[in-house]
């Protein structure tokens, strides 16, 4: 029986390496059974560091993915990889060159420019703090200050969606819905275009809730995961969404990223 070959991938960056890593993970999602070993080399600053990493990559016959913008370091990578027959992907400089040509502009070639501490960075930190402060309806005042208000019954991904949107610089507050709980008065004061109602199908919710109970070491079959109870919750939420005249998104089979994209697109239209 043949062993699955190991794929070594080196991500080299003059910043945190998030861009190259995300591209790699997006590609690897197509190969769930592949055995891949990813090594990150962030904040590269000089040729000596680079040569050490490249030699290690050669020993491992690794694929190199980089977002280096320093022209001399990029040339070093290209020459080394050509000499040692290493596969490498420059995922940023071809785009930079094309933008420079089309805009008649000169790039700064400044390392880590994307992560500079500008207003956008501090706004994102503020948005993340906002999402944590107003998670699960902790303070109804947050609904009046939010860019987006997310409603949904338990296990419809309200919190992770809120955090993802906060990373896109949106101030998000969310509220869990239960038929027995009273809706805060502030919700009725929010512009309906800012409100997103999340829903899901009964079977999926039941399975998710059962797994949740198992992770807590509890009996999976209980009122929380009972389909009759879930059906009641879903009907209650949908009736509320109709009254609020808000956008409704069924998150079944949708990733957080997909749901977030729908929300952001709706705000921009």
Q: How far is residue 2's CA from residue 64's CA, in Å, rounded to a whole number?
A: 26
Q: How far apart are CA 149 and CA 171, in angstroms?
A: 9
Measured from the Cβ of residue 186, the count of other Cβ atoms closer than 10 Å reads 19
Mean pLDDT over each residue of the chain, to the nearest integer: 92
pLDDT one-digit tens code per residue, 108-162 = 877 766 655 567 778 888 999 999 999 999 999 999 999 999 999 999 999 999 9
* pTM for this predicted structure: 0.66
Residue whose C-alpha is closest to residue 206's, from 220, 196, 216: 220
Asked if domains 6-115 and 119-268 share a fold, the reply is yes
CATH number of 119-268: 3.40.50
Could you report the per-residue pLDDT of 163-213, keeping only the tens digit for each? 999 989 999 999 999 999 999 999 999 999 999 999 999 999 999 999 999
pLDDT classification of 1: cutoffs 50, 70, 90 = very low
Domain coordinates in residue numbering, the chain: 6-115, 119-268
CB 44 within 8 A of CB 14: yes
The dotted CATH code for 6-115 is: 3.40.50.2300
163-176 pLDDT, tens digit per residue, is 999 989 999 999 99
Per-residue model confidence as pLDDT tens digits over 72-87 = 999 999 999 999 999 9
Note whether 229 and 223 are within 8 A (CB). yes
């Amino acid at each position: 029986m043949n062993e699955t070959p190991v794929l070594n991938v080196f991500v080299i960056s003059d910043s945190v390496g998030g861009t190259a890593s995300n591209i790699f993970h997006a590609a690897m999602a197509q190969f769930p059974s592949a055995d891949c070993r990813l090594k990150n080399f962030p904040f590269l600053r000089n040729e000596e560091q680079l040569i050490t990493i490249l030699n290690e990559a050669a020993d491992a016959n690794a694929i190199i993915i980089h977002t280096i913008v320093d022209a001399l370091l990029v040339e070093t990578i290209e020459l080394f990889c050509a000499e040692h027959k290493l596969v490498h992907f420059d995922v940023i400089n071809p785009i930079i060159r094309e933008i420079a040509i089309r805009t008649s502009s000169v790039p700064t070639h400044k390392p880590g420019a994307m992560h500079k501490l500008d207003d956008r960075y501090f706004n994102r930190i503020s948005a993340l703090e906002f999402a944590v402060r107003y998670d699960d309806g902790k303070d109804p005042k947050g609904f009046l200050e939010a860019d987006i208000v997310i409603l949904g019954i338990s296990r419809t991904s309200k919190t992770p969606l809120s955090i993802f949107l906060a990373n896109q610089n949106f101030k998000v507050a969310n509220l869990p819905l239960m038929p027995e709980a009273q809706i805060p008065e502030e919700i009725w004061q929010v512009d309906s275009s800012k409100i997103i109602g999340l829903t899901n199908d009964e079977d999926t919710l039941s399975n998710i809730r059962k797994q949740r109970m198992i992770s807590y070491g509890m009996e999976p079959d209980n009122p929380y995961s009972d389909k009759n109870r879930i059906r009641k919750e879903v009907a209650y939420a949908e009736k509320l969404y109709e009254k609020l005249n808000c956008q409704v998104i069924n998150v079944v089979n949708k990733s957080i990223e997909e749901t977030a994209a729908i929300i952001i697109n709706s705000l921009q239209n």
